């Protein structure tokens, strides 16, 4: 106890210096917590949008489908997979894909058709919430289309307009029909924006002569379990198929997330380094001013270890006090940004997308225990590491020389 008392009083010998270091450490901790929470919020948002909007956590395909995109490479025994997902409490949506031509007036464009069961799709992903205009597909088939934003722009169509569809069906015949635009999606990334044409599966089944086959099953637990567990839950019933998590499906996004994590670590390291140098500077000055005192302590019987302990106690106290203050401020800021997100619509009125994944224009922080305790504990460790050199220096002083130091 006396050690801590001495440490605390020694810290406040030079009020201004200690106050500056205290403020710097507090600010560092607060900024780290708030920025970690914001970055985590951004990553969470990116992952959530990647998984919750279109891709889901896990997808099942025929092993050849992703490389060849052939209409004939359909999911093997989709019923078993859907049943396994239902019994594990995982939402699942089967999809069918096919290519064709869409035209309106003098405009035409290639499109990638995606047939879904709207009621299942809505339980699995949140694309239906991401509409720029009009409505999502009705639960019952009715030859309605939901188009990507740029495809709608190319065709110069608006909600309710008529579209002529021409496709090559699975049985080799040519399918053609008239559809109506039900809705237009917000920006979702280039692939979706330029080519996607969503229809009801039953309409697509007729158009492409699919005969109840699917090219993809999307699974999403909506955060209830990690993607690996979702994949594991349906794996036994997906024999012969390819089961992939979103990380495997979207390697660029996965790489980007890893890079962002790396940047976060680098960003933290710079802050920690600055904090460490601040503590070291304070403790070096503080020990330099007290050489005579350390000489006295050694003369009266204090061991080098005792002196290291005393000097370290000062740095640790400084670290603990300032990180607690900074922690409180940082936690408040993170909490505030969690409930009052930063509005980015002014910077990107058409929405933001990265790596083909739409991002929420409201930048929300994610406050988690890790974002609070990690910077604080690392700051304590940094404080202790930063004080080692000044402490060892003080402990190694020759008492005879130290005692005559002016």
Partner 1 sequence: MKEILGLEAVTKEYGQGDIKVFALKDVSMSVNQGDFLALAGPSGSGKTTMLNLIGGLDRPTHGKVEVDGVDISRLSGGALSRLRLHKIGFVFQAYNLIPVLTAYENAEYVLMLQGASVKERKRKIMSLLKEVGLDGKENRYPRELSGGQQQRVAIARAIAAEPALVLADEPTANVDSKTAKALLDLMERLNTEKGITFIFSTHDPAVMDRARKLVHLKDGKIEEIEEKESKTREPNAD
Contact set with partner 1 (CB under 8 A): 2, 5-6, 9-10, 13, 292-293, 296-304, 306, 399-400, 403
Phi and psi of 289, rounded to 5°? -70, -15
Report the SS3 class of residue 304.
Answer: helix
Smallest gap from Cβ 12 to partner 1, in A, equals: 8
15 vs 87 by CB, closer to partner 1: 15
Smallest gap from Cβ 299 to partner 1, in A, equals: 5
Are 275 and 379 within 8 A, CB to CB? yes
Are 167 and 207 within 8 A, CB to CB? yes
Q: How far apart are CA 10 and CA 4, in angstroms?
A: 10
Where b means 16+ CB within 10 Å and e means fewer, 374-390 reads ebbebbeebbbebbeeb
169 vs 296 by CB, closer to partner 1: 296
17 vs 229 by CB, closer to partner 1: 17
304 vs 361 by CB, closer to partner 1: 304
Smallest gap from Cβ 404 to partner 1, in A, equals: 9
Q: Which two tokens stand for residue 293?
A: 């005192």
Smallest gap from Cβ 22 to partner 1, in A, equals: 17
Smallest gap from Cβ 308 to partner 1, in A, equals: 13
Smallest gap from Cβ 345 to partner 1, in A, equals: 56
Check the CA dihedral 266-270-276-279 and report its sign: negative
Report the SS3 class of residue 71.
Answer: coil
147 vs 395 by CB, closer to partner 1: 395
4 vs 377 by CB, closer to partner 1: 4
Phi and psi of 219, rounded to 5°? -125, 140
Q: Are strands 216-220 and 91-104 parallel, antiparallel or unpaired?
A: antiparallel
Residues 299, 300, 305, CA angle at the centre, nearest 5°?
80
């Amino acid at each position: 106890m006396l050690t801590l008392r001495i440490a605390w009083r020694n810290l406040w010998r030079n009020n201004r210096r200690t106050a500056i270091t205290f403020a710097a450490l507090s600010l560092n901790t607060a900024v780290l917590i708030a920025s970690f929470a914001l970055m985590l919020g951004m990553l969470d948002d990116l992952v959530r949008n990647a998984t919750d909007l279109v891709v889901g956590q896990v997808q099942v395909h025929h092993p050849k489908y992703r490389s060849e995109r052939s209409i004939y490479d359909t999911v093997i025994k989709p019923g078993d997979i859907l049943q396994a997902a239902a019994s594990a409490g995982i939402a699942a949506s089967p999809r069918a894909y096919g290519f064709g031509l869409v035209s309106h007036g003098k405009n035409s464009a290639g499109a990638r058709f995606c047939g879904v069961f709207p009621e299942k799709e809505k339980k699995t992903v949140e694309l239906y919430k991401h509409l720029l205009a009009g409505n999502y597909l009705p639960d019952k088939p009715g030859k309605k289309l939901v188009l990507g934003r740029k495809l709608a722009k190319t065709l110069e169509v608006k909600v309710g307009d008529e579209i002529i569809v021409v496709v090559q069906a699975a049985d080799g015949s040519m399918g053609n029909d008239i559809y109506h635009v039900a809705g237009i999606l917000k920006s979702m990334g280039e692939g979706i924006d330029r080519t996607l044409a969503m229809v009801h599966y039953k309409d697509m089944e007729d158009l492409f002569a699919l005969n109840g086959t699917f090219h993809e099953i999307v699974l999403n637990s909506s955060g209830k379990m990690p993607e690996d567990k979702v994949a594991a839950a349906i794996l036994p019933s997906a024999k012969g198929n390819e089961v992939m998590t979103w990380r495997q499906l979207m390697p660029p996004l996965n790489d980007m997330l890893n890079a962002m994590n790396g940047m976060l670590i680098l960003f933290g390291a710079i802050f920690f380094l600055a904090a460490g140098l601040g503590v070291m500077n304070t403790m070096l000055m503080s020990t330099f001013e007290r050489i005579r005192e350390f000489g006295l302590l050694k003369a009266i019987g204090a061991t080098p270890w005792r002196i290291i302990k005393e000097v370290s106690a000062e740095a640790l106290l400084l670290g603990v006090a300032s990180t607690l203050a900074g922690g409180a401020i940082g936690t408040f800021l993170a909490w505030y940004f969690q409930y009052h997100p930063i509005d980015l619509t002014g910077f990107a009125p058409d929405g933001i997308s990265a790596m083909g994944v739409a991002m929420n224009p409201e930048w929300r922080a994610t406050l988690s225990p890790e974002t609070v305790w990690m910077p604080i504990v690392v700051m304590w460790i940094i404080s202790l590491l930063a004080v080692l050199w000044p402490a060892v220096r003080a402990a190694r002083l020759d008492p005879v020389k130290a005692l005559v130091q002016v």
